[in-house]
Amino acid sequence: MILWRGISWNKILKVILMPRLKDLPFLLLLFLIISCSNNNESPLPATQASVFENVYQIKEMNVQQIQKLDKAKTVVLIPGGILEEHGPYLPSFTDGYWNEKLADTLAKTIAQLNGWKALIFPTIPLGNSGANDIGMKYSFPGTYTVRFETLRSIFMDLAVELGEQGFKNVFIIHGHGAPNHNRAIDQAADFFNETYKGKMVNLMGLDPVMNTWFQSDKTKKEQAEDGFTVHAGMSETSSMLYLKPNLVDEGYKQATAFTGKDMESLVKIAKGTDWKGYFGSEKIASAAYGKKAWDANAKMYIQFVLDILNNKTSIDTIPRFADVIKQSKIDVVLDSLSLLQEQKRKVLQSTWLKRKKL
């Protein structure tokens, strides 16, 4: 017989399994003991709880609470997550889950800095140009994008709101590999910086960041099978196996590899009738690789943020992915074609508005 704080387990089980009226006092006593025991346990260590006091969710705050923030020492974090097809096995919000985790990790890191606070915005689930554009398949299940100028306007509008209220440090955590997507956010950030003399940074659009996103060292065999991949291959599948394993379809284990050697070959693959919406080899993915990549990514990206905040690094000296990718002729062509397709969408909408006199 085992006793727990003087109470017999046999008695506990008997009362739970065969409740009777005369056992009610005992049940009440049992619940009281458990409740008191739980109340004595702090949900967070004291030091950790104090750190989290400096992390704020703007959606939960009222006017007075926002006004009291020291705008010069508050870092605004705006996570984003494009809704974009990631093939049959990964969720369309794959990028967003990663961005949200980084935003949360950054917030807790910033909160430990002397005098600094972190203010997190709700995730913006809007982005530009899905990977399906690579195959000129501009309508694809799972992809729900907005036009380049729409995305730019969204972040420029937020820039005005934040700038007029006196905020000076803003980091947009909106990782997505389309060059036009990053140009839209870069331009909004430039507008904020020039107009309000602050630091708005498209963190995931920095070239050193984009080139290492989801990545860790691969074996020669893994590299050969995965090939040149820019979307939903081994690395990104591994990331989801680490972050959101319940959202990864088990079919990835038998997935056909779509292996390319360069961007030109990916275009040919994506234009094929049998393309599933991903590149590379998903079946060689693993949660272990995803964790390894996440740990390396987070460490590097956090350091970028800290160096920018502490003026150790100027954002003007860090190459931007959207600028560097202009050296790729095929990417320039793809970006132009995407913008032409968006123009058709704009004309369709404008024609309807004009007809309705709106």
Q: Looking at per-residue confidence, does 24 or 165 come out higher?
A: 165
Output the CA–CA distances (angstroms, integers) from residue 348 to 25, 114, 197, 338, 357, in the order listed.
Answer: 72, 52, 38, 16, 14
**Distance, CA of 239 to chain centre:** 11
Average pLDDT score over residue span 41-49 = 37
The CA distance from 348 to 358, in Å, is: 14
In this prediction, residue 50 has a pLDDT band, given cuts at 50, 70 and 90, of very low
Q: Is the pLDDT of residue 21 over 50?
A: no
Which residues lie closer than 8 Å to 315 by C-beta, 6 or more apart? 193, 199, 201, 308
What pLDDT is attached to residue 53? 81
In this prediction, residue 10 has a pLDDT band, given cuts at 50, 70 and 90, of low
**Distance, CA of 211 to chain centre:** 16
Q: Is the pLDDT of residue 8 over 60?
A: no
Write b or e for each residue in 115-150: b if 16 or more Cβ atoms lie within 10 A of its Cβ, otherwise e.
Answer: ebbbbbbebbebbbbbbbbbbebbebebbebbbbbe
Which residues lie closer than 8 Å to 119 by C-beta, 6 or more apart? 56, 58, 69, 74, 75, 76, 77
Question: Any idea how long the chain is?
Answer: 358
The CA distance from 177 to 23, in Å, is: 63
Percent of the chain with pLDDT over 70: 85
Phi, psi angle pair for 229, to nearest 5°: -130, 140
Average pLDDT score over residue span 139-156 = 98
What pLDDT is attached to residue 52? 67
Q: Which of 322, 287, 351 shows the shortest CA–CA distance to 205?
A: 322
Q: At what angle do helices 148-164 and 329-355 cross, to 10 degrees?
A: 80
Residues 293-334: pLDDT tens digits?
Answer: 999 999 999 999 999 999 999 999 999 999 999 999 999 999
Q: DSSP class of residue 255? A: P
Mean pLDDT, the chain, as a whole number? 89
Q: Looking at per-residue confidence, does 160 or 114 come out higher?
A: 160
Residues 208-240: pLDDT tens digits?
Answer: 999 999 999 999 999 999 999 999 999 999 999
What pLDDT is attached to residue 195? 98
Ordered domains of the chain (ranges, CATH):
3-35 (no CATH), 50-355 (3.40.50.10310)
The CA distance from 200 to 78, in Å, is: 10
The CA distance from 118 to 302, in Å, is: 13
Q: Is the pLDDT of residue 33 over 70?
A: no
Q: What distance, in Å, lies between the first and last C-alpha atoms of the chain? A: 79
Strands 199-202 and 7-8, how do they pair? unpaired
Which of 20-29, 137-146, 208-217, 293-302 is predicted with the least confidence, judged by mean pLDDT? 20-29
Give the global pTM: 0.85
